[in-house]
Structure 1
Amino acid sequence: MARTVNEEKRLERRKRILEEAVVLFAESGYSNTTTALIAKNIGVTSGTIFQYFPTKETLFHAAVLEPLEDIQKKSLAMLQQDESPAALIKNMVEEQFNHIYSYTNELRLVQSVLGQRIRFPELTQQVLDSIKVMTDTIECVYAKGQSLGEFNPGFSPAMISRSYISFLNGVALTLGEDIVHHPEWENLKAHAYYLFAPVQHSTN
């Protein structure tokens, strides 16, 4: 029992360190963010941080990749349910737009890395690989939907999937936490879905 409690405390402390690191790295950048400041903000010593992350670089990589993995895991789960491609895509859009505002700092951090590819070549490639898993999955679902007549057959599945991810990131980074209070919020979700060009079947 004691081990379970201690492990829970360790996981919670690691989570706090990572969350604070995401915020500071996103706001101030890699060079201007110190482990000492991260430690101070959450009330621990710098030594405590190094018990979980051996180096500042290790912490930075985790701050970039772990939230991205979390976003991806939730999104892929939406696309693996037993429904039609059109329903899967619509559910994915709904899920992502309902929660994307929670990842504003995380997405800003990802964009920062992608904007400094020479400085962070290995990390950039890991980010791109992660994004590719998502776009490839969307592409497959969309292509299947096209074959079933649910989406416009004249569009490239590859371009559609990449356009959607770009739109999603742009909305999150532009509106941030104010996204759900934006007067066009519901319209933004609708436009995200219509990027896939769903075919409007006649009811007559």
Structure 2
Amino acid sequence: MARPINEEKRLKRRSRILQEAVVLFAESGYSNTTTALIAQSVGVSPGTIFQYFPNKEALFNAAVLEPLADIQVKSLACLKEEGTPGVLIKNMVEEQFNHIYCYTNELRLVQYVLGQRIRFPELTQMVLESTKVMTDTIECVYAKGQLMGEFNKNFSPAMISRAYISFLNGVGLTLGESIIHHPEWESLKGHALYLFAPIQHEEKQEEFK
């Protein structure tokens, strides 16, 4: 059944408000970003904001958590497809590096929260829990790949998964959209995959000699 037009307009406006909130919160921080400023940026009245979010804190929480959930859903989907662990990891890296530059402000906002854990204790915990779901899933797939001889067995799956997420976040935070047009972009994705220490076919043959 098609969604009513009014509901579609409502969801689009909510998404627009959230997008502007992400940018402004990332640029100016929580205290310096008012709902009035966000409303002005969106082109709506200040009161309109509260039709979608009960207060500024709820809007801030959504600006931090919803993009994280979006990244997580797409990444986990890659790890649940058909294929060997090596293929799944490669597909995940491809998916994340093809889109991570779109989340620069979102990642800056996450780092803003994590840098003020005393100020945002509950939100920090939710961010860490979300990240843990991702690293735990990568860890599980990676460990299976080690057992199948696709990855070097001398590395800790827990450390590998966390190292990769840190690398991914660093790329998202420091490189803009223009990086995808840079000739070294594909090489950068290759380096991300290399963090998992994949065993090449020739190396596998050596193991069985």
- The residue that corresponds to 2:111 in the other structure is 111
Closer, same or farther: CA 192–6 of 1 in aligned 2, 3 Å: same
- The residue that corresponds to 1:5 in the other structure is 5
Mapping for residues 56-67 of structure 1, pairs under 5 Å: 56-67=56-67
- The residue that corresponds to 1:94 in the other structure is 94
- The residue that corresponds to 2:54 in the other structure is 54
Question: Which 4+ residue blocks in structure 1 deviate beyond 4 angstroms?
Answer: none
- Work out the CA distance in 2 between the residues paired with 1:23 and 1:70: 17
How far does the alpha carbon of each residue in 1:152-201 deviate from its partner, in whole angstroms, 9 at most, with x for none? 00000000000000000001111122321334211110000000000012
- The residue that corresponds to 2:81 in the other structure is 81
Which structure 1 residue ranges, 5 or more long, are not aligned? none
Structure 1 letter corresponding to 2:132: K
Closer, same or farther: CA 58–149 of 1 in aligned 2, 3 Å: same
Residues 172 and 179, structure 1, Cα contact 8 Å, conserved in 2: no
- What secondary structure is seen at the aligned counterpart in 2 of 1:53? coil
Residues 64 and 106, structure 1, Cα contact 8 Å, conserved in 2: yes
How far does the alpha carbon of each residue in 1:67-100 deviate from its partner, in whole angstroms, 9 at most, with x for none? 0000000000000001000000000000100000
In the alignment of these two chains, the number of paired residues is 204
- Work out the CA distance in 2 between the residues paired with 1:167 and 1:13: 34
- Work out the CA distance in 2 between the residues paired with 1:8 and 1:166: 36
- The residue that corresponds to 1:19 in the other structure is 19
- Work out the CA distance in 1 between the residues paired with 2:176 and 2:131: 20
**What TM-score results when the alignment is normalised by the length of structure 1?**
0.97
With 22-31 and 175-184 compared, the bigger mean Cα shift is at 175-184
- The residue that corresponds to 1:149 in the other structure is 149
- Work out the CA distance in 2 between the residues paired with 1:179 and 1:2: 39
With 22-31 and 177-186 compared, the bigger mean Cα shift is at 177-186
Percent pairwise identity: 79
- What secondary structure is seen at the aligned counterpart in 2 of 1:32? coil
Structure 2 letter corresponding to 1:140: C
- What secondary structure is seen at the aligned counterpart in 1 of 2:201? coil
